Amino acid sequence: MRMLINVPETVVADALRGMAAAHPELAVDIENRVIVRRDAPVAGKVALVSGGGSGHEPLHGGFVGPGMLDAACPGEVFTSPVPDQMVRAAAAVDSGEGVLFVVKNYTGDVLNFDMAVELAEDEGVRLGKVLVDDDVAVTDSLYTAGRRGTGATLFVEKIAGAAAEERAPLERVEAIGRQVNGSSRSFGVALSACSTPAKAGPTFDLPSGELELGVGIHGEPGRERRPMMTSREIADFAVNAVLEDLRPSGPVIALVNGMGATPLLELYGFNAEVQRVLAERDVAVARTLVGNYVTSLDMAGASVTLCEVDEELLRLWDAPVRTPALRWGG
């Protein structure tokens, strides 16, 4: 098993121990699986909480900090966190102004977060929720009813997080998060399957020389398989799939996201092709982010996410952020 681990059973706990050692600005509860910004709760501020299965790092724990999330709940690999984690996280970060849950549209995540909402509200916490469902590849999948939540999660957490940092009320932060999700679309491509620690091998069969167009971040099937394509051809297919659904009339933020095993040399080359297609389609690009942000363990491949923005959303995107994985501004 070519993985830098001890045993599969302790992968998540070991990663959390390492995260705690690397980032003293975070309070990492390894036993209860909750990551919190150390200055929480922040007086007068709506708190953002998200989470999901491990294996998608830096999502979500790497996005905890000023300007983004107040807390994150990591589940086991590709497995939803449980309601108790979410309730504990909400209680740790609630300043009295309310808590916004950011939830990717996967069946386990949705069910557990909905249960957590009920439990937290019983304890007097005001809750809002944004459901992220940006993937245009397929309507239903092995893990969800409706569209999957993928790269737009980063946009929602960053932009809504900036609004919360400015002390916007819960209703406004929730509305901004929903606006961002509604203005975002994604499409992913796999060049290889990912391997989970428990399985110690590929999670699906992708023959050498083929790729999966529209793959999900857990390796769910996409639209079709084809013989290997060039970066130019993949960009044409992926960007056009997004634009067929999004149809932006204004500028966009572009995320060219690696799935975990694709080097930046390739991602930047792929970004050049993505930018070419957008220019050919007369889509103005306001900002671009390239790197590994919403991953799938060791999967080779990439995804493209576009978010149409107005002046306010772009201002919030540019606002300062200080997290382990995303950091700019004052």
Give the pLDDT score at 188.
98
How high is the pLDDT of residue 319?
Answer: 98
What crossing angle do the helices spanning 83-93 and 107-122 adopt, rounded to 10°?
Answer: 50
Global pTM value: 0.97
CA distances from 20 to 16, 28, 133, 247, 311 (A): 6, 6, 30, 42, 37
Residues forming the active site: 56, 218
Q: Which residue has the tokens 């919030």?
A: 316
- Tokens at residue 290, please? 């390239």
What is the pLDDT at residue 152?
Answer: 98
Supply the pLDDT for residue 172.
98
Structure tokens at 76: 């086991």
175: exposed, middle or buried (C-beta count within 10 Å: 0-12, 13-18, 19+)?
middle
Tell me the DSSP string of 122-184.
HTT--EEEEEE--B-S-SS-SS-SSSPP-THHHHHHHHHHHHHHTT--HHHHHHHHHHHHHTE
Mean pLDDT by 10 residues, the chain (330 residues): 91 98 98 98 98 98 98 97 98 98 96 97 96 93 84 98 98 98 98 90 87 94 95 98 97 98 98 98 98 97 98 98 96
